[in-house]
Amino acid sequence: MGGHGPSTDWGEDKAISFKTTLGLWLFLLYVLVYIGFIWINVASPETMEVKVFAGQNLAVVYGFFLIALAFVMGIIYDILCTNKEYELNEKEDSDK
């Protein structure tokens, strides 16, 4: 096997601690919202049958909300991490 290295040099990631912390907080938030979904299903399954929006029951609406929340959290993560990388790279460039 050829020993092919990386095609680009990415350099040091100065925002890794920010990214890790943010990712863990967003994950915790998502887990708490998901636990709410599970809790309702276990504690009161009939509640999930209640029609809440456009003729859809709570289970469907909550499920789509979880999907949308994950998507939005991914966008937020990307924006905040990208801004932090630019901030740290500009700071490094100005220190030179």
In tens, the pLDDT along 35-94 reads: 999 999 999 999 999 999 999 999 999 999 999 999 999 999 999 999 999 898 887 666
Query: Number of C-alpha atoms within 13 angstroms, CB side, residue 29?
Result: 13
Query: What is the rounded average pLDDT of the residues 13-37?
Result: 96
Beta bridge partners of 53: 56
| Measured distance CA(91)–CA(67) in Å, rounded | 36
The angle subtended at Cα 93 by Cα 83 and Cα 9, nearest 5°, is: 75
Range of lowest pLDDT (3-7, 26-30, 46-50)? 3-7
What pTM, to 2 d.p., does this model score?
A: 0.79
CA distance 36 to 32: 6
